[in-house]
Structure 1
Amino acid sequence: MTGARPALDRESAIAAYLKYADRMPGLAPGQLPAETCDVANILAIADQFDLIIFDAFGVLNSGAEAIPGALQAISSLRAQDVELAIITNDASNAPAAIIERHRNRGFDFSLESLVSSAKYIVPMMKRHSDVTRWGVMAPAHWPIDQLPGQAWFLGDDDSDYDTAEGFVLIDSDAWNEKRQRRLETNLANNPRPILVGNPDICAPMGDFLSVESGYFAHLAADACGVMPECVGKPYREVFDDILQRYPDIDPQRVLMVGDTLHTDILGGLAAGIKTLLVTRGGFLDGYDDLAGLYDRAGFWPHFRAPAIGAGLE
């Protein structure tokens, strides 16, 4: 990520998540916790879990820096022999590069502990066997040659859009308003599949929220009436991937930790596992009406903490 992408204010991001909630996984009443329990940090409940899954941005790090206390929390969990994993919607970087960045921050995650939404982009495309020409939203360094059929980067030429039989939105780092207008207009005139490798609407990048490809996918869908198809949180493939690696662990002893209600927490609830929402250093940093947000969303987490390592700094 270069930091060139546009920013989005939090209220607009919340409004977008609420507006597009019907495009995300639904929850049955039995999947909702009875209440949200406030805890000091993740160590206060660690003995209840054998596997803990983390979102990265807003939980482990904000931008390039580790969130205060996160390193100490992970170290303590390691000492308790809790299995740890990461689910990320960062589809723009190779898994090895993602892990290396975490190691540079001081975390000791292994490549085997990571599941990225990028893993499911090609299988999603292959489900559209009748589509062979794809226009792709991604920066120029992205390995587009790994995609099936003919694929090219969407740029400023109308032919990039006219000749595509489908669109894959992976990363918004090189995206801009003019390209978005081209995409929407083209789809309105000729609706085609919209596939999304990163369904996030925004991501915390330190002192701002970057606009992610999920946001642009929903705008494009509004223009043409085509339901976007997504991989990554809150959708099931990434959660099933982790759970299948630990078949002997009871799902009730698995915890999903995230900073965003409609990706991390919704995804964990839909997967049938416990959830912890953190409110400092990520999407909800400084937000003062969580109860109101729960009411508007219609769901809430099992636990809430300021940060995974609050008090451990």
Structure 2
Amino acid sequence: MSINRLRLDFTQAIEAYLRYAPRLPQVPKDAVPTKTAYVDNLLAIADQFDLIVFDAFGVLNSGPTAIPGAVKTVATLQAQGKKIAVVTNDASSSGEAILARHRRRGFDFDNNSLISSQQFIAPLMGEHDEVAVWGAMAPADWPFDILPGRIEALGADPALYDAVGGFLLIDSDSWTDEQQALLEQSLKNNPRPVVVGNPDICAPMGDFLSVEPGYFAHRVADASGVMPQCVGKPYHHVFEEVLRRHPGVDRSRVLMVGDTVHTDVLGGLASGIKTLLVHSGGFLDGQDIEGVFARSGLRPHFCARAIGHGLEDDAGEAAVSPACCDA
């Protein structure tokens, strides 16, 4: 990760989520629980569910390390025969790389467990046959060959922004305000498709919140009027894929576990499944949780400090190189 990556504080992040809420999937009022049950940890309610869907950042890990108690909790659920899914908006890494990092943290996930927003980018690109060349928010060494068509990494050359037929917002690790200004101006002058592979506004990275592609996508819409097309939480693609992979599980027995109201909770509620919000080690760490619920008009069915609160004696959970990070 670039040491110069743009960052947000909590106030900036929550204001952005609230400001852009009308662009996100909408939840019927009767789908929002009237009260939230506060529980010790995930294991306290696990008997109510057969399939548990985890967000990664802020739930399983914060930056490069596993959140204390998370490895033990997931292993306990697996021993109980629970079905596990991990959904991530990290479109910057292959599924194999993401799984490898989770395994180094101590989690035992297989290929069927992981659902990444990256897998939905190509189908969305396929809806735009008119685009011969895409410009990408991503490092030049990103594996563009996994996606269809010709793709050019966007840099400092204004001519490239004007030459491409559409834009892919995938990885904002090295994105700058100067590049953002070029993108916005080019789209003002000539509106074209914008596909967003990671609609997150921010992600917890241990001691800071990194700015993610979704934040820049909303700025694009503000500046140019071009509405980006997004895949990943809270949009329907990942939730439909989870349910497709587990056709024998009743929707009432599915739980979405996340650390943000406007991605994990909103996406779960919009998909008609139960939700658990965690608030220690993630986006909401140390914040007024009920205040966030009141301002957003959304709330989860359950809330806990962490999925493994009270089980934090897993010595091996942080055994990962600080240079490695992932969703």
Q: Same fold (TM over 0.5)?
A: yes
Show CA shifts across 1:77-111 (max 9, x none): 11211111100000000000000000000111112
Contact 1:52–1:82, Cα closer than 8 Å, also in 2: yes
Q: Which amino acid aligns with 1:291?
A: E
The amino acid that maps onto 2:15 is A
Counterpart of 1:311 in structure 2: which amino acid? G
Identify unmatched segments of 5+ residues in structure 1: none
* Aligned-partner Cα distance in 1 for 2:13–2:179: 21
SS at match of 1:30: helix
- What is the alpha-carbon distance in structure 2 between the residues aligned to residue 157 and residue 193 of structure 1? 20
TM-superposed deviation, 1:295 = 1.6
The alignment partner of 2:282 has SS state of coil
Q: Residue 2 of structure 1: CA displacement? A: 4.1
Q: Structure 1 CA distance, aligned partners of 2:138 and 2:3? A: 14
182-191 or 52-61, which deviates more: 182-191
Report the count of equivalent residues: 312
SS where residue 121 of structure 1 aligns? helix
Partner in structure 1 of residue 115 of structure 2:
115
Query: 1:139: which partner in 2?
Result: 139
Which range moved further: 188-197 or 118-127? 188-197
Task: Specify the alignment match of 1:44 in structure 2.
Answer: 44
In 2: Cα distance, 1:185 partner to 1:5 partner:
22
Equivalent AA in structure 1 for residue 39 of structure 2: V
Task: Tell me the TM-score normalised to structure 1 length.
Answer: 0.98
Q: How large is the RMSD of aligned CA atoms in angstroms?
A: 1.0
Secondary structure of the corresponding residue to residue 108 of structure 1: coil
Counterpart in the other structure of 2:27: 27
Cα deviation 1:132-176 (Å, max 9, x = unaligned): 221110112211123323210000001110101111100101211
1:124 and 2:124 matched: yes
Render the CA deviation track for 1:215-263: whole Å, top value 9, x for unaligned. 0111011111011110000000111101111111111100000001101
Partner in structure 2 of residue 192 of structure 1: 192
Q: Determine the C-alpha separation between the residues in 2 that align with 1:272 and 1:152.
A: 39
Secondary structure in 2 aligned to 1:25? coil
Distance in 1, Cα, partners of 2:296 & 2:132: 38
Partner of 2:295: 296
Identity %: 60
Separation in 1 of the partners of 2:3 and 2:117?
20
- Aligned-pair distance for 1:3? 4.6
- 1:166 match: 166
Corresponding residue SS for 2:8: coil
The change in CA–CA distance for 1:3 and 1:307 in structure 2 (over 3 A counts) is: farther
Unpaired runs of 5+ residues, structure 2, are 313-327
The residue that corresponds to 1:272 in the other structure is: 272
Q: What residue in structure 2 maps to residue 80 of structure 1? A: 80
- Report the 3-state secondary structure (helix = DSSP H, G, I; strand = E; otherwise coil) of the residue aligned with 1:142: coil
**SS in structure 2 opposite 1:115?**
strand
What is the identity, as a one-letter code, of the residue corresponding to 2:201? I
SS at 1:174 equivalent: coil
TM-superposed CA distance for 1:25, in Å, is: 0.3
Task: Show the counterpart of 2:202.
Answer: 202
Counterpart position of 1:244: 244
TM-score with structure 2 setting the length: 0.93
- For 1:232, the aligned partner's letter is G
For the residues of structure 2 that align with 1:262 and 1:76, how far apart are their CA atoms?
28
SS in 1 for 2:7: coil
After superposition, the Cα gap between the structure-2 partners of 1:3 and 1:188, relative to the gap in structure 1 and judged at 3 Å, is same
Shift of 1:113: 0.3
CA distance, structure 2, for counterparts of residue 243 and residue 147 of structure 1: 25
Runs of 4 or more, structure 1, over 2 Å off, are 1-4, 145-150
Give CA-to-partner distance per residue, 1:23-54, whole Å, 9 cap, x none: 11001122111311000000000000000000
User: Is the partner of 1:167 in helix, strand or coil?
Assistant: strand
Q: CA deviation at 1:118?
A: 0.1
Instruction: Name the CA distance, whole Å, in 2 between partners of 1:243 and 1:262.
Output: 20
Q: State the partner residue of 2:14.
A: 14
27-36 or 164-173, which deviates more:
27-36
**Partner Cα separation in structure 2 for residue 113 and residue 146 of structure 1:** 20
Q: Distance in 1 between matches of 2:256 and 2:230?
A: 20
Note if contact 1:3-1:173 (Cα within 8 Å) is conserved in structure 2: no
Q: Does 1:219 align with 2:219?
A: yes
Report the equivalent of 2:67: 67
Distance in 1, Cα, partners of 2:271 & 2:35: 18
Contact 1:167 1:195 in 2 (8 A): yes
Distance 1:249 1:22 in 2: 31
Q: Which amino acid aligns with 1:299?
A: L
